[in-house]
Structure 1
Amino acid sequence: MSAPIKTGLCSYGHSGYAFHAPFIHVHPGFELTAVVERSKHLTQQRYPYVKIYPDVQSLFKDPNLELIVVNTPNYTHYEYSKAALMAGKNVIVEKPFTVTSAEGEELIQLAASKKLLLSVYQNRRYDSDYKIVKKVVDDGLLGDILEVEFHYDRFKEELSYKAHKEVASKGTGGLYDLGSHLIDQALTIFGMPKAVFGDVRIIRKDSVVDDYFEMLMYYDTLRVRLKSSYLVRESLPAYILHGRKGSFIKSKSDIQEALLMKGVLPDTPDWGAESPAEWGLLHTEIDGKTVKEYLPGGNGNYLDYYQGIYAALRENKPNPVTPEDGLNVVKVIEAVFKSSEEGRVIEL
């Protein structure tokens, strides 16, 4: 195997602890080399070999690092990704890619000019629930898809302990946060819509950032509705699809985040396996016969993303999530905000 990809994390908060460090640690093609922590040095409790830097500028100057993970607040994505690219580093940036599409376009041009990898960490492509939904569509089990509804709901009246998420500034709120996942999933299956209509609101008592949105994505013969609310105590299925032949109904059931937050490393046997109680209901017609059965959800695995990054950097394989993918998500977000403010359909 080639030399491991020496990797630096820009922070060790929730995403660093759960979504990045464990996968970099267990993948033999990577080395978790350095992490930015200003005071607590929690990284070294699990990964004692890691070097700690006090700020991102020091991290970017480390000549040994080949890859930087920008997993800091949304408003920093553009600035930190640009600085890392300027320092000659390949970059993984958390979703949303950037706050504005203009920022995203600039970063794409910069990465291309320096012949560096720039990738967006859209980990929910690797959830067990989404993977079976995509397979049902790709396999044509429902015929022509006519109507789709994706939900990402929570029940949480209180504000987040992450103060930066509750500040009324560009890039905060549910549409940038949870919407980035839903939009990316929809675009990955169905492509860019022709137009969108959006309704974005604040519904929690003390909130100053949007915590409810509903959007309708217009295609030729298909309508895709994406919805999220922070005040849904009894949630609906996360995925509802109707086609000319049948329907598929699926819960949000991926267990990886729960395992990771408990400190379980993703090299355990049968990682990310769904419970049979969460399997999706397929009701359709196959070879002229009506079929109604529960489909196994399989395994989710965010390690597949990092394997894709390894293959891109060491084997000249395609980028698993391109910056253009991330840019399209931001363009849809901008259009949804514009639609909500003006009360009209926005063409893309």
Structure 2
Amino acid sequence: MSKKINVGLVGYGMAGQVFHGPFITNVTGLFLKTIRETRPEKIRLANSRYPHATIVKETTAILADKEIDLVVLATPNHTHYLLAKEALLAGKHVLVDKPFTTTSAEADELIELANKKGRLLSIFQNRRWDSDFQTIKKVLSSGLLGNLVEYEARFDRFRNFLKENTWKEEDLPGSGILYDLGSHLIDQALCLFGAPEEVMGDLRIQRSGSSIIDNFEVVLHYEKLKVILKASMLVKEPTPRYRLLGDQGSFVKYGIDVQEEALKKGLTPADVADWGLEPQNIWGDINADLQGLQVTGKVKSEKGDYTGLYHNLYKAILGEEELFVKPEQARNTIRVIELAMQSNDEKRRVKYY
């Protein structure tokens, strides 16, 4: 039988409902024991979906529960550092929703504390388990593109208004899409290519009345590779999600992983037999030279499944697997964000360090 690891989920807003609850409960061995939530409508929803879970109104109730092994933080970005610190001090393993922290100094402190306490600390970089990113990794490993010279990834929305009553529209530490969507794009790039030599950032506020960054372009410079990462809240007509250029061919991919849309409809991996499979109309296009032959056509998308992150975390807590999303990696993502902000302020490229 699988060893049971009790989980305490702090926060049952969109992140808790859509990205955490369904995948915690999809891993045999993880048991969602307690949820911390204060809003009556969210409490009712949590009770209806997870009647076995205890609902508490204070995070301290989760931290004080000796039966809880893993604390998952699905809370506003600016609270991540303090809550993660409290959970580690309480002797819990911790999974923090992205972004890890708002500064690399905070991340360094939490990494040191986790090591001191002998607890696992990880970050919810779930987009590593996107269908399209899994496909990108396979295309690159195939060698069909030859030597990659340019990689572009975009993560766009269209919301030309400001949402009401949400911290995400407030000028708080960690707010704005550089921390939000940028955390995913940067994490993916660092997974593929490692640390860059230089960082350039162009950050903008484009929506009327907004006080947060809602458009960015971050360029990571490597010796022979240019990595362009973009996101905007004002893109109504879809642009390529990924564009890879090599000296032997190109790969272009439109469309976005289907999991988020399914989750927002209330579906879970337990409900859908073909979970994480993209429809053929958003498969990527390749055009490459293969041993003198011109190869063009569709590349079938790989299966995506965010369950993989939680399954690995469970195995890592048991000591059966190496942790996939290491806190040091997430710390480097925050460092790139800091350097992009510095670059934007100083209007120049800055060295990565």
TM-score by length of 2: 0.97
Answer whether contact 1:239 1:252 (CA < 8 A) is retained: no
1:277: which partner in 2?
281
1:307: which partner in 2?
311
Q: Which amino acid aligns with 1:136?
A: V
- Aligned partners of 1:64 and 1:29: how far apart in 2? 14
In the TM superposition, what are the counterparts of 1:19-168 in structure 2 within 5 Å? 19-40=19-40, 41=43, 42-161=45-164, 163-168=166-171
Superposed displacement of residue 162, structure 1: 5.3
Aligned pair count reads: 348
Superposed displacement of residue 170, structure 1: 1.7
- Aligned partners of 2:88 and 2:317: how far apart in 1? 15
- 331-340 or 17-26, larger mean C-alpha shift: 17-26
Q: CA distance change for structure 1 residues 162 and 324 in 2, over 3 Å: closer, same or farther?
A: farther
- 106-115 or 307-316, larger mean C-alpha shift: 307-316
- Aligned partners of 2:18 and 2:108: how far apart in 1? 29
SS at match of 2:52: coil
1:344: which partner in 2?
348
SS at match of 1:102: helix
Q: Which amino acid aligns with 2:17?
A: Y
Answer whether contact 1:146 1:244 (CA < 8 A) is retained: yes
Superposed displacement of residue 4, structure 1: 1.4
Q: Which amino acid aligns with 2:316?
A: A
- Aligned partners of 2:124 and 2:39: how far apart in 1? 26
- 273-282 or 20-29, larger mean C-alpha shift: 20-29
In the TM superposition, what are the counterparts of 1:185-196 in structure 2 within 5 Å? 185-196=188-199
In the TM superposition, what are the counterparts of 1:247-286 in structure 2 within 5 Å? 247-267=250-270, 268-286=272-290
- Aligned partners of 1:80 and 1:252: how far apart in 2? 35
2:322: which partner in 1?
318
Answer whether contact 1:95 1:120 (CA < 8 A) is retained: yes
Q: Which amino acid aligns with 2:70?
A: L
Superposed displacement of residue 315, structure 1: 3.7
Superposed displacement of residue 235, structure 1: 1.9
Q: Which amino acid aligns with 1:211?
A: D
Answer whether contact 2:238 2:254 (CA < 8 A) is retained: no
- 53-62 or 67-76, larger mean C-alpha shift: 53-62
Deviations 1:214-273 (A, max 9, x none): 111100000001111111111211100000110000123211111111111212311111
SS at match of 2:86: helix
Answer whether contact 1:175 1:210 (CA < 8 A) is retained: yes
1:223: which partner in 2?
226
Answer whether contact 2:2 2:28 (CA < 8 A) is retained: no
Q: Which amino acid aligns with 1:173?
A: G
Answer whether contact 1:129 1:253 (CA < 8 A) is retained: yes
Answer whether contact 2:244 2:252 (CA < 8 A) is retained: yes
- Aligned partners of 2:233 and 2:108: how far apart in 1? 31
- Aligned partners of 1:329 and 1:345: how far apart in 2? 17
Superposed displacement of residue 289, structure 1: 1.1
Q: Which amino acid aligns with 1:232?
A: V
Answer whether contact 1:2 1:314 (CA < 8 A) is retained: no
Superposed displacement of residue 58, structure 1: 1.6
- Aligned partners of 1:220 and 1:20: how far apart in 2? 38
2:335: which partner in 1?
331
Superposed displacement of residue 5, structure 1: 1.1
Gaps of 5+ in 2: none
Gaps of 5+ in 1: none
SS at match of 1:2: coil
- 130-139 or 114-123, larger mean C-alpha shift: 130-139
SS at match of 1:264: coil
SS at match of 1:187: helix
- Aligned partners of 2:212 and 2:239: how far apart in 1? 24
1:13: which partner in 2?
13
Superposed displacement of residue 316, structure 1: 3.2
- Aligned partners of 2:302 and 2:348: how far apart in 1? 40
Return structure 1 stretches of 4+ with deviation > 2 angstroms.
none
Report the identity percentage. 44
Answer whether contact 1:129 1:251 (CA < 8 A) is retained: no
